[in-house]
Amino acid sequence: MLKRDVRRLYLYAVCLFSLIVMLVSLVNLAGIVTEAAMPVPPPVPLRPPPGESQEGFQAQAEEEQILQMAWERRAKAAQVARNGTALVVGGFLYLSHWRLIRREESDG
């Protein structure tokens, strides 16, 4: 009897944990989609330090902005992959354990 109760507690705990993981992943994915849908504000023009030419400074600033945007895209892609994987794994864990719970309840 105790062994059965411990098993049932384990199955319900895994289902709860996997639902929480799926919920957090969905919230994170929704945040990423929302950020992607919102327009990016235009960059603030910078002034060169005294003694530097405007053209050279501007070219360097544009290059840094391009690199920054590339890193941000890469980070967003990694977040989407991480949260998508957590959503799939959490869904699989939930469904497999919930099926076991339903089978045990129908068996008596």
**pLDDT tens string 63-81:** 888 898 899 899 999 999 9
The dihedral over CA atoms of 29, 81, 25, 16, expressed in degrees to the nearest 10, equals: 160
pLDDT of residue 52: 74
Name the pTM for this structure.
Answer: 0.77
Mean pLDDT taken over the chain: 89
Domain ranges of the chain: 7-37+55-107
**pLDDT for res 108:** 66
Higher pLDDT, 93 or 59: 93
pLDDT (tens digit, 9 = 90+) per residue, 16-46? 999 999 999 999 999 999 988 887 777 776 7
Q: Closest Cα partner for 24 from 84, 94, 74?
A: 84
